[in-house]
Amino acid sequence: MTRAIDPAHSAPDRSFTMFDYAAAREHMIDSQVRTNDVTDPDIHNALRRVPREAFLPASKQALAYSDTNVVTDEGRVMMRPRDFAKLVHLADIKPTDVVLNIAAGRGYAAAVLSHLADTVVGVEETEEMADRASDLLMAQNVVNAAVVQSDLKSGAPEHGPFNVIFVGGAVDEVPKTWLDQLASGGRLVVVQPYGPVGQARLYTKTGNAIGDRIAFDASVPLLPGFEPAMEFVL
């Protein structure tokens, strides 16, 4: 006797589970941020409100919450969550601050900073990169941040002075033009190479005087054009 086959039970299960980015974001805060001495609830809330994956190309979205730097097609880096959060914490951003985001990339840092500051101005080298970042920010309903085209070493003096300058990648030397755009009492946070590792450094400005200190070790790729100058030995 031929047995009837129920198609509902015989067909292979082609369903799949969508990746839970919200859960991954919460796990990132708990396992990579809190455990590295970033306990400020305002920073946690800012990180919680911004989907990292939305600021990455589709081919890199699976890496959004991994403990690694993610380099995009444009040569910009989305810093590993631990280093990014500690750098934001180091900047000590106030709700009234105006922030300059150097090398804004696709706009992730600007989006997070926008939930901590009054205004965020990001700069990118090409109009295409600036427009893409601004579009991604608008898609996330970020209304107090925008990215403009400018040479990175020039910053955005027409929009300054800035209370905070946040650099979205490592640089060998901090250009004087950036420090000139800091308001008195302003802070600049950046990662600079030191031997095989990097060091996050805080620059502060009081009047015309600049001070700096090393805050923590961090491994962040150098921004193109900010590599150490070649030395020739005769």
For 154-179, what is the mean pLDDT?
Answer: 97
Report the candidate in 49, 50, 104 with the shortest Cα–Cα distance to residue 77.
104
pLDDT-derived band at 195 (thresholds 50, 70, 90) equals: confident
Average pLDDT of every residue of the chain: 91
pTM: 0.89
When pLDDT is averaged across residues 6-31 and rounded to a whole number, the result is 72
Q: pLDDT at position 15, please?
A: 41
Tell me: the pLDDT tens digits for 27-37? 999 999 999 99
Distance of alpha carbon 233 from alpha carbon 222, whole angstroms: 24
Q: What share of the chain in percent tops pLDDT 70?
A: 91
Look at the chain and count its residues.
Answer: 234
User: Does the pLDDT value for residue 233 go beyond 90?
Assistant: no
pLDDT for 196: 78
